[in-house]
Amino acid sequence: MNVFDIIGPVMIGPSSSHTAGAVRIGRIAGALLGEDAVKAEIGLHGSFAKTYKGHGTDKALAAGIMGMEPSDSRIRESLSVAKKRGLEISFYLTHIDGAHPNTALITLTGADGKTVSLEGASIGGGNIRIHKVNGMEVEISGEATTFIILHNDTPGTIASVTQFLAGQNINIGSFRLSRRQKGGLAVMTLEVDSPVSGGINQELERLPNIISSTVLAPQ
């Protein structure tokens, strides 16, 4: 903990969990798609479903998907900004068994039909946890530099990624693997101790059996 956890963050109100945290969830979804989304379908669960209008959670999620930060003054007008940018956003109320009360389920579609889905919760004070990516379980806080790597479940893929990072002198703080089925689509999430340049991520993406890699800067 430091002074800026106490006096901070600078944010758009009214609620660190329902607004600032929602922006962060949206940002990760947008980063995972890796391009401008043309369509966003957003499911709201629990307290998000009950109070999103009053807290501006809808605007916050939309703003995040478009890459805005929690302190961006345009959050208030984000739904009209989305319209101008050709991003079609729809919200629906949902219930996810056992999910945290502030949970959003986001599915984004890019211009060429690429889609990504994500389930994230705002767990208080603007902190978040992403629990699922494309239906696969992950555990992302966004507090450290994080790689989210979609890949084919084949022998040696994990080793090639960790070896590559070792070669770049990047230390791994946490690692998690999840897959749909044996030999199918899988996701690795790695938290690392040092900042990572976009170039390193591009090189990593060229490794065999990697479908896509996204690196998130700590937020």
For other proteins, the binding residues (CB under 8 A) are 1-16, 19-20, 47, 50-51, 53-56, 59, 71, 73, 75-76, 124-126
Transcribe 24-83 into DSSP letters.
HHHHHHHHHH-S-EEEEEEEEEEHHHHHHHHHTHHHHHHHHHTT--TT-GGGGGHHHHHH
Q: Which of 39/76 has CB closer to other proteins?
A: 76
Transcribe 135-197 into DSSP letters.
TEEEEE-SSSEEEEEEEE--TTHHHHHHHHHHHTTPPEEEEEEEESSTTSEEEEEEEESS---
CB of 19 to other proteins, least distance (A): 7
Q: Which of 2/181 has CB closer to other proteins?
A: 2
CB of 185 to other proteins, least distance (A): 37
Tell me the two tokens of residue 70.
């929690």
CB of 88 to other proteins, least distance (A): 22
Q: Which of 58/119 has CB closer to other proteins?
A: 58
Q: For residue 146, give the amino acid letter.
A: T
CB of 125 to other proteins, least distance (A): 7
Q: Which of 15/134 has CB closer to other proteins?
A: 15
DSSP letter (8 states) at residue 93: E
CB of 70 to other proteins, least distance (A): 10
Picking from 79, 67, 89, the residue whose alpha carbon sits closest to that of residue 219 is 67
Q: Which of 11/192 has CB closer to other proteins?
A: 11
